[in-house]
Amino acid sequence: MVQADVGTVLPARTFPITRADLVRYCGASGDLNVIHWNQRVAQAVGLTDVIAHGMLTMALAGTLVTDWAGDPGAVESFTVRFSRPVVVPDDDAGASLLVSGVVEEVREDGRAVVALTSTVDGAKVLMAARAVVRLS
């Protein structure tokens, strides 16, 4: 298990998201909504392009915490508010999700609250992202 103090910074990480990732996530999750893979339909409903699944974005942000904790089971809760869709261009680069985190509270019961920041091109895509992690 990891040790932490208030202010401990989790190493930031960039997660690429490509159209191929979206197709794989569609298959794995069963969420086949066409706005995640068909540009024409996404634009017809008012989006600028195909967007990543919100739960995929959340899962990638959560990966930063589980990797830092060293045990996915140590993450006892994880909440976010989706604030902006992640547009995934139809090119080899796709979108780049930058996730960073900082321990904002260490509780007497051995749990830490980690605040996460998740951005694409400098714009926050997740708000109020918090994970509670069992430290020991």
Give the chain's domain count.
1
Name the residue range of residue 13's domain: 9-17+53-134
pLDDT in tens, 78-103: 999 999 999 999 998 999 999 999 99
pLDDT of residue 136: 80
Q: Do the domain assignments include residue 97?
A: yes
CATH at residue 95: 3.10.129.10
Task: Note whether residue 76 is domain-resident.
Answer: yes
Query: Does residue 120 lie within any of the structural domains?
Result: yes
| Close Cβ partners of 47 (under 8 Å, ≥ 6 residues apart) | 35, 85, 87
User: Residue 57: enclosing H or E segment and its boundaries?
Assistant: helix 54-69
Cβ-proximal residues to 107 (8 Å cutoff; 6+ apart), any chain: 113
Could you tell me the two tokens for 46? Answer: 């008012």
Query: Is the residue at 113 inside a domain?
Result: yes
Name the one residue in this structure whose structure tokens are 């190493």: 11
- Establish if 92 belongs to a structural domain: yes
Q: Is residue 69 part of a domain?
A: yes
Res. 119: pLDDT tops 80: yes
Q: What percent of the chain has pLDDT over 70?
A: 100
DSSP-assigned letter for residue 41 = H
> What confidence score (pLDDT) does residue 79 get?
98
Rounded to the nearest integer, the mean pLDDT of the chain is 96
Is 114 domain-assigned? yes
Has residue 87 been placed in a domain?
yes
**50-80 residues labelled b (16+ CB within 10 A) or e (exposed):** bbbbbebbbebbbebbbebbeeeebbeebeb
116 within 8 A of 126, measured Cβ to Cβ? yes
Determine the average pLDDT of the residues in 2-25: 96
Instruction: Give the H or E element holding residue 12.
Output: strand 9-17
Percentage of the chain lying above the pLDDT 90 cut:
96
Single out the residue of 104, 25, 30, 12 nearest to residue 57, CA to CA: 25
Q: Mind listing the pLDDT tens digit for each residue in 47-89?
A: 999 999 999 999 999 999 999 999 999 999 999 999 999 999 9
